Structure formats: structure tokens, C-alpha cells
Chains A and B, each alone.
Chain A
């Protein structure tokens, strides 16, 4: 099956353009990231952090979490995370009130910057906890996101 991909030019700025190849299924060049089952199945953020060896994370102001104070729709909550802790190699996200709080870890290697944008589901108003890992140590920050339902289905 042939897929047509289109490149998108972002207007303005020093935009570079990427052309897309036809969609191909490639064999990954190296093993994909592991998936930490016990952390993902943990029912509390604390348990998940323990499973990931992050239980001792210390509070840090060098982690910036940009998320809505009140999310318009809990099904799609945009979160931007930036760590300014030198040597940050990964960022992990926990939505404390979700049934399974551990939402994921993003690994930065070979020069990718300690920044990620992700959109998550939040079932009810909840603290969103972030852990940044740098030099084998763990740092954490938290941001409260309110979720309202509201509306009559329009």
C-alpha cells in the first residue's frame, strides 16, 4: 500500500522543510525502549516511582511544567516539560489521580534537548508529577491540573 506524505511548510521564521518519503515499515535499527510493566501497572505514583527507582527524587525548581490550570477536556491535556537541570537524560510523568498514574518516560540521548510535549488523559483533577533524571539522580516537580466536565454534549 502506497502512502502519500506531504511536507508542511511552517509559515515564517527560519523554517526548514522536511520532505517525507513514502511510508515504509522499517526494522528498528536497535532495540526499542523497554516497557516497564510493574511501573505502568502500579496504582499509585509512589509505587510507580519505586518501581522505577525514583522514590528518592528531590524537589527541584529547575523543572518547568506548562499545563492548563483548568483543562477544557480531560481527554486531551497538553503538557510541555522542560528541565534545566544540567545533564538531564530523561523525564517521567505521573498523573497522580489516574487509575495507573505512570504515564511514561522520555529519554534524551545523543544531543536531544531535555524538552517534551505530550498530550495526556486526565480522569479527574489531579497533580501532574514530573521526575527528571540527571547523572543518575532524580529531581521532581508537580503541577495541579483541574478537569471540568461541563457542557451538555454540544
Chain B
């Protein structure tokens, strides 16, 4: 840990490029050892950098607003992997895919490398920092307070500085966050008189209802939500919370629901109100002051809700009763994807529902005040003012409104009315492209900073390495400007941004009643911040509660047979487009559709039949505000009246500077703010066939299990009975249980196995070894793909690109298989997830067929793969029943890691050369590492010494890894679970991975 505050960065010399061992990983696994290499020593030895051993610094994730704590793993002075900070209350040691991909932002080749000034001809020219500062300082002085600042910086010391700084200038500042959940805040204002975002305790909730809120994807604090959700919804000795989802689209969150009920877009509120009504009517529970609502709600009968939403009455009734009786329960709404014109009313309704069920204060915790911006409305206000010529200078810090707002809002035009525009940005974003001056700023991993994602939590960031490019910390830019411009800014005279931060922390320490500011800082730095409980605000109904109403949401565009309601939704990978230039996130495939690299239009199969649209047929989608072209993806998980298009693509600037392929769904939306927010589900669109086709780069082969028992599931009742998956299946499908092997066969097998075991008492196999195993609890797995990202980062997995994915050549060592259940003839469409990686079979079929022993069985039960011995016959992959072996068809190691992305490569793992087979190794480098350490300390390995990257990252801790032979280990315990099963048990390959069947709490009436 970074436990000393000295400002010198010498201790984090950026040597990787020069390569003590740094460059090593980037070299392919051929025998290329004869080339002359240089050894570059440190100038000054660092106490906390031991070459060959990872140093970990605590930091904070800035990939979304939830502010998770990071542990940054660095080697020889370069960050190689982002992991969750176990001490951080938000994510508690786990980290989502997007967070982990943050490191690709750090090393991104298309980062702005030096200040750039727009020339008269519109092109950009690199200039020195001094020039840049001088230029901007002059402009600021000239502007005389006519300064507009748009800030994407979260709540923290920098934001405070920026605020004060802008104020001093006499300018105006808008905090801008594309997914700001304005509707949630507005509703809280209306119902409880509290203008804030509460925290939600999913872990405590026993019954969870989501009204289109994608709390496992982008809603408020996804990683935290998922952790809580897994804790309550995951099956633990006979109990699990129930999760019901209402909404127009089957998103990842709804896929993890025990039941998903499709509702007409914009009608979820009616259901919420009806539920509240039933609860009050039946007086099962609820605080006294909710009586006032009784009459108000009386008109909202379930029948009416059914009429409006299309959800059956009895379902609403039962949901209401269970919701009330479960206690504490939790209802959530306000997801971006379902943010329609009446989103505020929806959230208000849900607030009431939570209130009458008595959840407010138990699972809905006000007082935490999750960070949020000023909302879309405020931005529009400012841009209008810009158009009116009220500003001389505009400064945009880490925000990209030019991309993230609909074209119909004309942000670009209005913004360009400002004479002098400046972008403080990592990347040449669409907005930066409009500016006159682009100032490259430090990545979060390169700078000192802090963040206050919510009350009670102050999370620190520290430079874990030398800056990759010639950038500056935004804070330093402000201070330099102040020194240069003087005048009103003269008061900002801190020596450096770091000094300023320390100073403000000294104050913070005092406020915390800690005399020793230095010690306080030291401790915070080591821990990753200061973590305290959030204050809880007592909540009462406000007057606004009685103005509760839920009119039908208005839609732009004509209603009609051939027109659909458009839902432009954010995906958990691309978020607001921040993910669009991260190779990992693009290739890892969307958790729902499993599409990589491309944009698509989701259309319901019935509608598709009606219009005779095929999968992959390119459609023209037209709304009153614009039109786009994208391939059709037939998706049963939709309301037939809806087409859905993912957000995040279609930017002009990205990875290779050539722009993300794909389209920007915002082009179809109405830029007018409704009640201060942008309505993402508010437009009617018409579809037209173009007759052109595009092959969709899906990682999915066949999405049905064909009764092969891959991802098993059972009902809660069956689980309670302690049924095995096969028994449960037998019961559900009304056939006698299919014995995998008859008794005779079992006997034969036992004989065969013991015979095997004495036959291998040779060489290394004679000694006593651990047997590594893994178990995956499918009742906790949500299919979020955080494990996949972790695997990419840990194991130097190359990104192969769209063309290769189309040929099925993606290299994901661990993949999340998503199978569909039901869906046809009326039965509900359900999803099953199955994280599939090398099963490390005891009788591995891949091993005996390798002519050169490149695939063989290690004494500790791993299925070893020796890259440098592999000649590439690919026989092992043919013979693998799980198809988890991946071949280097081309020299991906040369193409997938363009400078400086190769600096992220993990030096402990060989980068595979062209023509060799590779696959999941159970993170053998971590195993060997732990064994080396244990050996140095003369102790045996303890349970938990080795944890694979996937298990470490999993936000729902569904993956357990360890030594099966050690009967006290967690893995041994979970492998004994009644729900445990192996995929393809009956081909007797004896996998080391045990899956625990998913438990679904069906409504058995």
C-alpha cells in the first residue's frame, strides 16, 4: 500500500516502457531471446516497488457515478489490473466489467497527448502547456465572468475547487451526468420533500419488485446493487428473496427475476399504484400517515392497472400481498431504459408503494445522498444561454454532451455560439472536437484526487504511476490558470493541486476531530479513503404526496399499426458511451443479446413476422427527430409494440480515432427536457426494410439447451426438499429420474478409477498434492460478465475484432452462456446463465490426443496447457466437449495490444504466439505465485491463499475456488451441496468445476 505521502514520484518511476521486466509480457512466446535487451535500473530505489512483485495502491473508480473503491495492481511501475478494494463499503472487493476496463482508458492509444489548439482552418495543432495556459488565462480575463463550465467531475475536492473558481470568475457551473436519474430525485422531492437519491439495501429486501429499473446494469450503483441482490436472492439453506420485474423489455435485471411480466411502455406506474392500493385496502401493514393516500389510491384498482398495462390482475394482487407480507421488501423504478415522459410520476408511485409497505427507512435509506448532477434540464438551460450569446468562454470538463444529447437538442450548434470553447478531456471526444482548445488531463490513476459518492464515504485517488502522456491534473490546470490570470482568481494560490488537496484534507481531518492531519491522510491513503456509515434521514410524507397522479405517458410521433414505441436503453457494457472505446467491453459481448462490436435494433418476432424481417436485415428506423439504419435482432423479450436500441455507439471519436461503428440511438429522440430529464422511451418510430443484410457478430451458437442439462434450475420448493438437479428435472418433466450410470456401471467406473489412481503413482504424481476445484452458484450468477473482464485483464487475452468474432474466433477463456427457456406458445421467456470455462477434467479428453504433451494433467489436478510446446494440431479443441479451448489463428499478440495498451499486459502470464492453443488455466500463475510465497515463509498453503481473477471480481461472489482435498475449505463444502452438478456428467470426464443449480421462486398458488 502507498503508506507515505512524500510528493516525490521517483518511487513510481515509469520504467515499463524501458522494460526491466516490463516489456517482457509483450513479447510473444517464441524463443526470441537472442535480441539485445537493455536493463534500466531505478534512479532511486523505491521502498514499495519490488521488481517481480505486484504493488497495490488504493484508488477510486470513475467509470460511473457510484464511486467504487479500487485496488490498483502495479508491476515495475505500471498499472496492470484494477481490482475491487475489499475495505470499500460500496463494492467490498468486487468490481464490474466496466470498472475493470477503466485501465484501458489509461493506456488508450487515442488519448490526447498534449494541449491542442484549433487553427483557423479548423485543424488542431499541438501547443506547449505554457502557451495553452497563457492563451486560456487571457481569454478568461477578457470574458469578464461570462464563463460557462460544464463539469462531469463527481462530488469531491476538485468539484469544490472548480465551483469556487467558477464563482470567483463570476461564471456559471453545471454538473452534468448523462444518466442522472432526475426523475427519482424529483419524485422524492414530491413525495417526501427530499431532493436526493437514497441508498437501497437489496441485501435486506426479501421481496424485490423492479418497475423497469435496471439495477443490475446502470441504475444508481449497479455493483453495490448486485452484491446486495445476490446476498438476498441467492439461495442459502432453504431461503431466498423473490424478485419480480415489470417492464417492456427483458433486460439483464429482468432476466434475473423469478418472474418477468411484460408491461406496455409507460404504464408501470399504474401497477405500482394498484399494488399500493391493494396493500392499503387490505390494511396488511403500512405506517399510519399513509391513510391519507387511501382515498387517493382507491381509484387505482388492479383491474384498471391490467387494462392499462396488460399485466394480469391476479398477478398484481399476489405481488401486492407478497410485497406487503415479505417485509422488508423493495420496489425500484427510474431506470434509464424505461425513462419515459411520466418517469417522475412512476417513481412517485413507487415511492408511495415502498412507503405504504413500510420499506422506507428499512430498504430505502434517505440521507446517503448518492451523488448526482444538476440534470439535463440545467444543461439545456445553459446551452440556450450559450445560443443567446451570454458566454464568452465555455469550459467542458470530462463530459461529452455533444455525443450524449439528442441531435434534435442542437447542443453542438448552440455550443458553437460561444466564442472560445475549452475541453479538459482524456479523449478527443465529440465535444472536444468542437472546442478551440483541448487540454489533456490525467487519468484517475495518474492523479491525486478524492470523491464523495455518498454521505459518509470519501474515497481517495492517488497516482499509481508516472503519467503515460504529457498531461496535467485538472486541478493543476485551474491553479496554473489562476496564477497566470490573477485578478479574481488570485486567491487560488496553492503551490500545486496535490498541496491544495492535502490542505483541504487537513480541514477534513479537523472536522473529523482528528488532530494528526498527516496520520489521518496516511491512513486514508492506505485504506483508500475514509469510510463511515451514511446518516439516515427520517422520512414523512410531504404535501406533494397528495398530488399523486399517473396520466398515460405522451409519445412523440404518430400511433399506428406499423409504428412502435422506441426504447433507447443503456447497456451494462457501454453505459453512456464511455465503454465504446474500450476493446474489452466491445468484444465481451452484451450480456443480454451476446452481440459484440455492433449496433442492433431489437424487434419482437411477431412484429418481425408481420413485416417479414429476418435476423440481421438492416432496417431504417425513423422518428420525427431523425432516422438511423441498423441490423434487426429478433428478440422475444420485448413488448410486441416496442423496438429497443442500445445506447453508447455511433460516436465520431474512438479507439482507432476512426469512430465507433454502429449508430447513436439518441439521434431518434426528442431533445426537449421533460420535467428536467431526457425521456429515453418517449418516441414512436416506424421501421422500413432496406433489403440489405449484415452478419451479426454474436458469440452465441445455439441459444437453446436442447434438454442437455447445461444450466440446471429447480423451483424453491424442490430446493427446499433437498432435491438434486436431476431429481428436480425428473419431477418437472414428469419422467422417472434418468440414472446417469446404472449401479453396475458405477461399480465398473469405481474399479476403473482406482486402477487409474494406482497406475499414476509415478514421478511427480506419486507425491501428495492439492486438487484445485471451482464451484459456481447459478442462483447468484447474474450474467454480468465481470468475471470475463477480469479474465481478459489477468490473462492477457487478445481482442480479435469484429471480423474474427464473425468467424467464431473470439478468445474469451471464460464466457457467459445465455440460454433461453420457454418463450414459445405463451409460456414466458426466461434466461439461464452458465459461465463456461475449462472444466479441468480428471479424464480430460483433450489430453491424450495431443501428440506433443502440450496438454497434460498436472499433479495438482490442473489441465495444463504448455503454449511453447504446442504445435497447433487443434485436436484438443475438437475433442473438448465444452469447447473452451481457443486457438491463435493469427498473431493476435501483435495486433491486439497497440502501444501503449501493451503496458497493461500481466508480466506473470505468457502472451501467446500465433499457432498455439490457449484456455483457462485456473490462473495457474496465481497458484504458483502463492506456492512460492508459502514456500518462502515455510508454511503450507491456506484456504483462500489462491483466488482466481474471476472469483475475485464477481460482484455476487458466485464463484468459489480452492483445494477440494482440504475438507475444511469453502470449495469442498460447496462441492458437497445438494444443488451441485457437473455439465455432461454422463460422459465421465470428471470436471473440476461444480455448478450449483439456479433456484427459481415460482409462484405456486
Q: Do chains A and B stick together as partners? A: no
